């Protein structure tokens, strides 16, 4: 049987616990309501704050990007200031406008710098080629070939190597153009005056052709050449102002010791030693005579007489030889090449007579005659340039 007393006891216990559970539930509900209320108040502010921060950050990023773009565009304009019409300028500006980040902009600027650096190098190398050739760079096939190769180079290293590979060949090619031009300017001339920066020299045409190849390219560009007509002029000069007697055909330089600007080139056509007064000559011979008629000796007289000539002046000796008073051939054999033998004796003995006088017949440019005549005799010196 069911114990009714126990059932009552359980009901009473049950009734005694119910109030405590309701209180807890009520407290929980209240807490939830409070928290929800607080959250309802706080969360929108937090979300709003987060959104505001995001918007601020995004705005800052946009401002930074825009500033970077403006700065980058200014950099591009500066890079291309010498190439304002280069189409790549607008290409880089367009890339900057489309850039999404500062890093992307920096990469575009680096690319533009490399492009401009290569373009500047190409321009420099091409200008160097133009400077090498001067007025001939447009007509030189070699120059145009190298320019095209440099223009097509993809890197600075490639462009530099192309220039270095052809530099010597281009110099020689350019020299050929200038040499041929100078040859044509004086074609047919017997003598040529060369003017290099105001320094004038005189050459035979063959000498001029030989010396042209010794000039550097820059000299060939600045050199001036003229056809020259030579005239003869006698110069009486002492040995101490000339040295040893010049040889026929030898190149000389006539200078004024008091005027360094007077430098006149010429050629010795003939050279003479002025006759010394101290040379003497004597000669003796035997004389016999007989008279013949129709092969028959009518009168025969033979005697030996010593006839002596003593001449104490070289002029008298020469004149006596001419009229047969003295042995013509003997005089010539004794006095032949007197001046050059005098040179050899002076060189061998190191003895030199400074008072010996020379008469030089000199060929000089016809426009230099007046300049020579203006030089006082005491100031006129003869210089012999070393053979080239």
Interatomic CA distance for residues 343 and 242, integer angstroms: 12
Half-sphere exposure of 4 toward its Cβ, with a 13 Å CA cutoff? Answer: 0
Phi, psi dihedrals of residue 299, rounded to the nearest 5° = -145, 125
* Among the listed residues 163, 369, 114, the one whose alpha carbon sits nearest the alpha carbon of residue 264: 369
Identify which has the larger pLDDT, 351 or 128: 128
Buried b (16+ CB within 10 A) or exposed e, 201-231: bbbebebbeeebeebebeebbebebbebebe
Interatomic CA distance for residues 23 and 306, integer angstroms: 186
pLDDT digits 0-9 by tens, 52-93: 667 677 677 778 878 888 888 899 999 999 888 999 999 999
Place of tokens 């007197």: 338
Mean pLDDT of the region 184-199: 92
pLDDT digits 0-9 by tens, 269-280: 998 888 766 555
| Per-residue confidence (pLDDT) for residue 380, from 0 to 100 | 93
Mean pLDDT (the chain) is 82
| Per-residue confidence (pLDDT) for residue 332, from 0 to 100 | 75
Give percent above pLDDT 90 in the chain. Answer: 44
| Per-residue confidence (pLDDT) for residue 275, from 0 to 100 | 74
| Per-residue confidence (pLDDT) for residue 27, from 0 to 100 | 75
Place of tokens 């420099």: 124
pLDDT at 173 over 60: yes
pLDDT at 18 over 70: no
pLDDT at 226 over 60: yes
If pLDDT is split at 50, 70 and 90, which confidence band does 307 have? Answer: very low
Interatomic CA distance for residues 63 and 327, integer angstroms: 120
| Per-residue confidence (pLDDT) for residue 113, from 0 to 100 | 93
If pLDDT is split at 50, 70 and 90, which confidence band does 10 have? Answer: low
pLDDT at 95 over 80: yes
If pLDDT is split at 50, 70 and 90, which confidence band does 131 have? Answer: very high
Neighbours of 368 (CB within 10 A): 22
pLDDT digits 0-9 by tens, 248-263: 989 999 999 998 888 8
Whether residue 269 contacts residue 362, with contact meaning beta carbons closer than 8 Å, is answered with yes
Question: In which element (H, E) is residue 106 found?
Answer: helix 102-133
Mean pLDDT of the region 316-327: 73
Instruction: Kindly list the domain boundaries of the chain, sorted by start residue.
Output: 60-174, 186-228
Give percent above pLDDT 70 in the chain. Answer: 78
| Per-residue confidence (pLDDT) for residue 297, from 0 to 100 | 47
| Per-residue confidence (pLDDT) for residue 292, from 0 to 100 | 47
| Per-residue confidence (pLDDT) for residue 7, from 0 to 100 | 52
The answer to whether the predicted template modeling score (pTM) of the entire model surpasses 0.95 is no
If you ran DSSP here, which 8-state letter would residue 82 be given? Answer: T
Place of tokens 């000498």: 207
Pairing of strands 296-301, 289-293: antiparallel
Mean pLDDT of the region 147-167: 95
Mean pLDDT of the region 147-155: 95
* Among the listed residues 332, 285, 286, 293, the one whose alpha carbon sits nearest the alpha carbon of residue 309: 285
If you ran DSSP here, which 8-state letter would residue 296 be given? Answer: E
* Among the listed residues 232, 322, 302, 320, the one whose alpha carbon sits nearest the alpha carbon of residue 268: 232
Identify which has the larger pLDDT, 306 or 344: 344
Mean pLDDT of the region 336-343: 78
Interatomic CA distance for residues 245 and 340, integer angstroms: 7
Place of tokens 């040295």: 243
């Amino acid at each position: 049987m069911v114990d009714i007393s126990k059932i009552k006891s359980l009901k009473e216990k049950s009734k005694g616990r119910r109030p405590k559970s309701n209180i807890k539930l009520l407290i929980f509900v209240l807490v939830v309501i409070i928290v929800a209320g607080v959250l309802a108040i706080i969360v929108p502010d937090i979300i709003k704050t987060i959104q505001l921060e995001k918007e601020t950050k995004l705005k800052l990023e946009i401002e930074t990007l825009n500033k970077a773009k403006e700065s980058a565009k200014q950099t591009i304009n500066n890079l291309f200031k010498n190439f304002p019409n280069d189409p790549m300028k607008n290409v880089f500006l367009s890339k900057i406008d489309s850039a999404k980040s500062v890093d992307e902009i920096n990469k575009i600027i680096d690319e533009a710098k490399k492009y401009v650096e290569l373009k500047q190098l190409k321009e420099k190398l091409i200008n160097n080629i133009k400077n090498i050739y001067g007025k001939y760079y447009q007509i030189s096939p070699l120059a145009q070939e190298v320019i095209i190769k440099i223009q097509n180079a993809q890197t600075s290293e490639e462009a530099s190597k192309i220039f270095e590979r052809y530099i010597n060949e281009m110099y020689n090619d350019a020299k050929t153009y200038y040499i041929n031009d100078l040859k044509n300017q004086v074609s047919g001339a017997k003598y040529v005056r060369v003017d290099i920066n105001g320094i004038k020299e005189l050459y035979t045409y063959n000498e001029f052709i030989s010396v042209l190849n010794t000039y550097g390219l820059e000299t060939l560009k600045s050199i001036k050449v003229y056809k020259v007509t030579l005239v003869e002029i006698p110069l009486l000069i002492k040995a101490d102002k000339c040295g040893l007697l010049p040889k026929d055909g030898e190149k000389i330089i006539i200078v004024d010791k008091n005027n360094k600007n007077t430098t006149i080139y010429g050629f010795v056509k003939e050279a003479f030693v002025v006759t010394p007064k101290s040379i003497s000559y004597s000669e003796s011979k035997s004389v016999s005579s007989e008279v013949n008629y129709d092969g028959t000796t009518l009168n025969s007289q033979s005697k030996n007489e010593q006839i002596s000539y003593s001449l104490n002046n070289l002029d008298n000796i020469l004149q006596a030889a001419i009229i047969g008073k003295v042995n013509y051939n003997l005089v010539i054999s004794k006095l032949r090449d007197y001046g050059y033998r005098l040179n050899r004796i002076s060189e061998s003995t190191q003895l030199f007579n400074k008072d010996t006088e020379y008469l030089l017949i000199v060929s000089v440019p016809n426009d230099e005659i007046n300049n020579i005549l203006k030089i006082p005799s005491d100031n006129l010196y003869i210089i012999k340039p070393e053979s080239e």
